[in-house]
Structure 1
Amino acid sequence: MAQLQPYKGGYYLWKYVPSVEAAAIFCVLFLFATAAHSWRVWKTRTWFCIPFAIGGYFEVIGYATRAAAHDRTGKLMPYAIQNQQILLAPALFAASIYMTLSRTIRSVNGERYSIVRADWLTRIFVLGDVLSFVVQGSAVGLMVTGGNNAVAGQWIVVTGLLIQMIMFALFGLTALLFHVRMRRDPMGLRSQRQTTAAVNWERSLHMLYGVSVLVMVRSVFRVIEFILGPDGYPLTHEWTLYVFDSVPMLVVMIIFWQWFPSPRPSRGWEEVCEPLRRLSGQRLESK
């Protein structure tokens, strides 16, 4: 049976022995979700969603390493890798989420209804996301050293997460104001009905609201986790990570895949079932 092992000088990287079963389950789930996203990005040539798929690979690596750390709680690298990958993945999700809004606005010729110019919208929010990513990533090395450096690293991560939360709040406000102004203008509604690429513009906005709320909830949890510190309840009880981080991020991937911001309408689960139906049809014809 695996036991908690100290790293150096009696310093414990983990406050519990990580569950190999839970980590393996989420590793497999994220692997399937990431493979589905990668296939759809390639099929639709929706290259701005590549960061989203990379974020999925971050999750896969993070949970695979977490499972491997079950018997290596005294080793630095497994702890650092899983911590970094799981912590930074949502920042990559956010990059594609931000870019989806500007493309949705352009698809309905709705630039005049946005409080931020469409070409600047992506730059502002993606730059904020990159800043959040860099700030959080720079703290990973400090967090595993213990002592004052670990405390400093935790507060740097909190700063990066707060940047992410602020950007998401501003992003949500921008999307909501665009939505309201578009709906209030009859001319805008008539023009968007004539745009074939904009058939599902409101559905795309609803999708963005949903994933943004989930990322925000996860970020709030992470801020609380790091403020309470290594002896706080979240970092000493593993279930909190899975409930407030793993599950929300998996749901984000599922929602984004189901209502994928493709140039053509997405049929969601029908695209998965279609090859199976064709294969069944071919077998019946052969008989």
Structure 2
Amino acid sequence: MSTHTDSSNYGYTPSVAWCSVFIALFSLSGLLHIYQAWRAKYWVIFPTLVIGAAVEVLGWSGRLWSSQNVLLLTPFLMQISTLILAPCFFSAWDYVLLGSAIAKLGPQYSLLRPRWYFIVFITADLISIVLQAVGGGQASSSAAEGAPTQSATDIMVAGIIFQLISMVVFVSLGLDFILRATQKRPYAFQARRIAAEQSRVGNIEAGTGNTLESSTSMSRSASDQILQEKPARANELNGTVRQWWILLGAALISSAMIICRGVYRSIELKQGWEGYLITHEIYQSLLDGIPMLIAVGVFNVIHPSYLLPKKRSWKSYHLEE
């Protein structure tokens, strides 16, 4: 593959000022996350927010490199691939945060079980990453060599739209959980499932040989208690509910930024490699750089270690033990 092209792949020369600012701010956020994660024993921040910030730094470094020689192909490919993939790492942290909140505040208010948020949406992110990586690599290489890019670009757009849809579904489920938890409206089928699990655990711990009939009766009784929101449970959570709502507010801000960026990227790429959005740098900075900076930086300010009881060990990814 050639290392040079005959003209700018961007349609402009990337601004040194914009690139330098984003490199500095993403680096600062990433380093601060490393310190916060180490201090608070939140290991899951490393493969999510920290790596995401590092990928953003690589992307903007590629653009800075291009500003010195806009004809080089390597930095162009570098920034395309990294800046497209970085949001997947930020969204992964949002999934962990919502799953942990549901596990603590009440699985009965959620359509999905807590662990399924991580499993389902991380899988969706992986599919999106593969599509975007394959399409982005093919499209940028073809564009640099003057070959047709439409089919490769369509693959990349499909990956971005897939990620966009999964984030919209995720936010919808998160808002549904928040509304139901606030209004004390649990899902009946989840209440029955939780009650049945509690009944089985109780029988095992007691070492009793309860009949199916008595076990079912106990399960129904526990289900009724969950559906009626026992006052003792509500009082137990009063001390941390507000803190969790603040954390979920931060996750909502982060997710909204990822969605906004996805809408911009989809329109940009549908316009083509010579379209208006992709050939004007201001949109890259305002609709990709700034939203992603907010998506990762909001958790430097609204951090679980500032709001929740201190973790005692590195085990598990749950934010409160």
Using structure 2 for the length normalisation, give the TM-score.
0.75
Cα distance in 2 for partners of 1:187, 1:215 equals 35
Cα distance in 1 for partners of 2:75, 2:99 equals 38
Aligned partner of 2:277: which letter?
P
Q: Say whether residues 1:93 and 2:90 are aligned partners.
A: yes
The alignment partner of 1:157 has SS state of helix
Is the radius of gyration larger for structure 1 or structure 2? 2
Cα distance in 2 for partners of 1:237, 1:209 equals 29
Aligned partner of 2:302: which letter?
W
The alignment partner of 2:284 has SS state of helix
Superposition map of 1:9-48 within 5 A: 10=6, 12-48=8-44
- Aligned-CA RMSD value: 2.2
Q: Contact 1:197 / 1:263 at 8 angstroms: preserved in 2?
A: no
Q: Contact 1:66 / 1:79 at 8 angstroms: preserved in 2?
A: yes
Per the alignment, do residues 134 and 261 of structure 1 end up closer, same or farther by CA in structure 2, a change over 3 Å counting? farther
Cα distance in 2 for partners of 1:11, 1:17 equals 11
Q: Say whether residues 1:223 and 2:223 are aligned partners.
A: no
Cα distance in 2 for partners of 1:155, 1:219 equals 14
Cα distance in 1 for partners of 2:33, 2:25 equals 12
Deviation (angstroms), 1:256: 1.8
Aligned partner of 1:249: which letter?
M
Aligned partner of 2:86: which letter?
A
Question: Which shifted more, 55-64 or 132-141?
Answer: 132-141
Deviation (angstroms), 1:264: 5.5
Cα distance in 1 for partners of 2:152, 2:7 equals 16
Superposition map of 1:154-165 within 5 A: 154-165=153-164
Deviation (angstroms), 1:189: 7.9
Q: Say whether residues 1:150 and 2:149 are aligned partners.
A: yes
- How big is each residue's C-alpha offset from its partner over 1:190-228, in whole Å with a ceiling of 9 and x where there is no partner? 625414565512112211211111110011000000000
Other-structure match for 1:60 = 57
Cα distance in 2 for partners of 1:188, 1:60 equals 49
Other-structure match for 2:109 = 113
Q: Contact 1:258 / 1:266 at 8 angstroms: preserved in 2?
A: no
Per the alignment, do residues 97 and 35 of structure 1 end up closer, same or farther by CA in structure 2, a change over 3 Å counting? same
Other-structure match for 1:180 = 179
Cα distance in 2 for partners of 1:103, 1:148 equals 47
Other-structure match for 2:250 = 207
Q: Say whether residues 1:81 and 2:81 are aligned partners.
A: no
Per the alignment, do residues 193 and 72 of structure 1 end up closer, same or farther by CA in structure 2, a change over 3 Å counting? farther
Aligned partner of 2:233: which letter?
S
Using structure 1 for the length normalisation, give the TM-score.
0.84
The alignment partner of 1:200 has SS state of helix
Q: Say whether residues 1:72 and 2:69 are aligned partners.
A: yes
Q: Contact 1:260 / 1:266 at 8 angstroms: preserved in 2?
A: no
Cα distance in 2 for partners of 1:148, 1:86 equals 23
Superposition map of 1:236-247 within 5 A: 236-247=279-290
Cα distance in 1 for partners of 2:71, 2:115 equals 48
Gaps of 5+ in 1: 1-5, 268-287
Aligned partner of 2:101: which letter?
T
Deviation (angstroms), 1:62: 1.1
| Residue number among 230, 234, 257 corresponding to 2:300 in the alignment | 257
> What is the aligned-residue identity percentage?
27
Cα distance in 2 for partners of 1:193, 1:67 equals 54
Cα distance in 1 for partners of 2:263, 2:9 equals 23
The alignment partner of 2:303 has SS state of coil
Deviation (angstroms), 1:150: 2.4
Which consecutive segments of 4 or more residues in structure 1 shift more than 4 A? 196-199
Deviation (angstroms), 1:19: 0.9
Per the alignment, do residues 164 and 222 of structure 1 end up closer, same or farther by CA in structure 2, a change over 3 Å counting? same
Other-structure match for 1:232 = 275
Deviation (angstroms), 1:14: 2.2
Other-structure match for 1:141 = 137
User: How many residue pairs are counted as aligned between the two chains?
Assistant: 260
- How big is each residue's C-alpha offset from its partner over 1:148-188, in whole Å with a ceiling of 9 and x where there is no partner? 55222221111111111111111111111111111111727
Cα distance in 1 for partners of 2:95, 2:77 equals 28
